[in-house]
Structure 1
Amino acid sequence: MPDWLLIAIRTLLAIVILFGMTKLLGKRQVSQLSFFEYITGITIGSLAAYISLDLDAKWYLGIVSLAVWVGFSLGIELLQLKSKKARDFIDSRSTVLIKDGKIMEENLKKERLTADELMEQLRKKNIFQAANVEFAVMEPSGDINVLLTKENQPLTPKHLGIKVAPEQEPQTVIMDGKIMDEPLATIGLSREWLNTELETIGVAIENVFLGQVDGYGQLYVDLFDDQIIVPKPQKKASLLATLKKCEADLEMFSLSTRAPKAKKMYEECAKELERVIEEIKPLLIR
């Protein structure tokens, strides 16, 4: 067998084995790496290259070594799941870098981090003054997480005493002009409903690049042709306007009638509807 063909076959074999073992190790191996996982990743890559290119050695020995590394890594991960002490020893603990706006110089030295590097990490989080930081910690993965002081934290609806509706996960029901049946079923909708919504806005299914339904059953579409403007859903706004009109009508009826019982009934109904509108308004103004 020619060397080039042998290398091609061994490379394909290494790719398949490497993919399978990486899947076995889980998502952490390709996302947030600890020190040990970083070493494991480098070693596994080197062994895969050895399996692919070293024609003078027995290729199956590389697979044995790869299997040992992966097995040992799995054992370490299971040990970390079971033991807090093992996690602290293998991954190390988090290190406080800033506390109450004061930089902890000794901890910076411990992590071999300069003031310039610390400020660079803070600027990446749009923080330009260390004094604005209540608490900053370096995680075992090397990431720096920051808590701003109360006066420097961004305002939220809770700070302003505003109630907002809970946000539910939107479902992608159209992709590349094709209907996705599973997301539709997840939110209890059908193809007939989707086709009706598309007819309402005057769009054909094959012209839709992406279509999503939010938690309130409103359809948003993005078309292949960006020059076409699609009207935004107005169902919630229409419902709020209708409820307010009903409230105004009840108040008008109470003012126009001369019958005391009817007047009282209209007034009570108007007040009750006003209370309902105030409760559901956060759901309708998003």
Structure 2
Amino acid sequence: MADWIQIALRSITLLTILFLFTKWLGTKQLSQLNIFEYISGVVLGGIVAIHVSTLDSPFYYALISMFVWFIIPYAVEYFALKSKVFRNFAQGKSTVLIQNGKIMEDNLKKEHFSTDDLLESLRDKNIFKVADVEFAVLEPTGKLSVLPKTENRPLTAKDIGLKVAPDREPQTVIMDGRPLLEPLANLSLNPKWLETELEKMNISMENVYLGQVDSDGQLTVDLYDDKLTVPSPTQKPLLLATMKKCQADLELFALSTNNQETKQLYQRNSEKMQKAIDLVSTYLK
């Protein structure tokens, strides 16, 4: 067999095995890898590179080496899940760098973290004054987690007592001009509903690059043709407008009748409708 064919076959086989091993070990972002996982990844990649280009080395040597470097990290992960002590030893543990607004110099030295490193990490969190930080901890992955002081945290709706509508992640129901049935089913919708919504927008399914439905059941789309303008969803504003019109009609009916009993009935229902509008207006705007 020609050398180039052997190299190609070894590359495909070893890369496939490396991919499967990585899937079995679990996936993490590169920035979240601990020391042991980083070393294992480097060694496994080195094994593949060496045995792909070294044709004098038996192929099963590569399989044995990769299996060993797969089973060890797998065992480490397993025992780390079972034991906190072992997890701290194998994966490391968090180190407090700022506590109660005070920099812990001894912990900085222990982690070989200079003052410049600390300031750089804080700037990465859009914090330029150490005095603005209440608590900061260095994670085993090398990431700095920061808790600003109360007065320096962003204001939330809860802080000002404002009620906001609950929100869930949108579901992608159209991709590359094709409907996705599973996300539709998750929303208790069907392709017929999707076709109806697209007809309202005067858009064909084939012209939709991406379509998403939010937690309120509103469909938003992005088209292949960027020159076309897509109308904004109108379900919620239309519902609010309809409720206001009903409330206004009830007031008008109350003014139009001379029967006191009927007038009071209209007024009571008008007040109830106004209360309903006040309750849901935050969610429908």
Q: TM-score, normalised to structure 2's length? A: 0.95
Give, in angstroms, the shift of residue 31 of structure 1.
Answer: 5.9
> d(CA) in 2 for partners of 1:102 and 1:190?
57
Q: Which residue of 1 aligns with 2:144?
A: 144
> Does the alignment pair 1:196 with 2:196?
yes
> Does the residue aligned with 1:27 lie in a helix, a strand or coil?
coil
Paired residues for 1:269-284 under 5 Å:
269-284=269-284
Residue 211 of structure 1 contacts residue 220 of structure 1 at CA under 8 Å; is this kept in 2?
yes
> Using the alignment, how far apart are the partners of 1:175 and 1:8 within structure 2?
35
Unpaired runs of 5+ in structure 1? Answer: none
* Structure-to-structure mapping, 1:67-106, within 5 angstroms: 67-106=67-106
Are the counterparts in 1 of residues 44 and 66 from structure 2 also a CA contact under 8 Å?
A: yes
1:244 matched to which residue of 2?
244
User: What is residue 37 of structure 1 aligned with on the other side?
Assistant: 37
Alpha-carbon contact 1:22-1:29 (below 8 Å) kept = no
State the SS of the aligned residue for 2:32: coil
Aligned length: 285
Aligned to 1:224: 224
Q: Percent of pairs identical after alignment?
A: 50
Structure 1: distance between partners of 2:280 and 2:29: 45
Q: Distance in 2 between matches of 1:14 and 1:233?
A: 50
5 Å-filtered alignment, 1:2-151, equals 2-28=2-28, 32-151=32-151
Equivalent residues of 2:172, 2:183 under 8 A apart: yes
1:30 is displaced (CA, Å) by 5.3
Q: What's the TM-score once normalised by structure 1's chain length?
A: 0.95
| Corresponding residue of 2:176 | 176
Give the residue type in structure 2 aligned to 1:123.
Answer: R
Contact kept? 1:133, 1:147, Cα under 8 Å: yes
Equivalent residue of 1:167, what SS? coil
Name the SS of the counterpart of 1:182 in structure 2: helix
Displacement of 1:194:
1.3
Q: Is the 8 A contact 2:170 2:214 kept in 1?
A: yes
Q: Is the 8 A contact 2:31 2:141 kept in 1?
A: no
Q: 1:29 to 1:214 in 2, by over 3 A?
A: closer
**What is the Cα deviation at residue 254 of structure 1?**
2.5
Structure 1 residue 223 displacement after superposition: 0.7
Cα separation, 2, equivalents of 1:57 and 1:227: 59
Any idea what SS the aligned residue of 1:225 has? Answer: coil
- Opposite residue 65 of structure 2, the aligned amino acid is S
Q: CA deviation at 1:99?
A: 1.6
Shift of 1:29: 7.5
Q: 1:31 to 1:21 in 2, by over 3 A?
A: farther
The alpha carbon displacement at 1:138 in A equals 0.5
Structure 1 CA distance for aligned equivalents of residues 256 and 152 of structure 2: 54
Deviation readout 1:39-92 (Å, 9 max, x if unpaired): 111111111112211222222112112101111111110101111111111122
Distance 1:193 1:187, change over 3 A: same
Residue 166 of structure 1 is matched in structure 2 by: 166
Mapped contact 1:29–1:37 kept (Cα < 8 A): no
CA distance in structure 2 between the partners assigned to 1:58 and 1:166 by the alignment:
60
Identify the residue that residue 155 of structure 1 maps to in structure 2.
155
Which deviations, in whole Å up to 9, do the C-alpha atoms of 1:225-278 show, x marking residues without a partner?
111111101110010111112112222322333322122212211221122222
Q: CA RMSD in A?
A: 1.5
Supply the AA of the counterpart residue of 1:64: I
For 1:110, the aligned partner's letter is: K
Give the aligned partner of residue 266 of structure 1. 266
Aligned-partner SS, 2:188: coil
CA–CA distance in 1 between the matches of 2:140 and 2:95?
8
- The 8 Å contact of residues 33 and 141 in structure 1, kept in 2 or not, is answered as yes
CA contact (8 A) 2:250 2:267 kept: yes
Shift of 1:207: 1.1
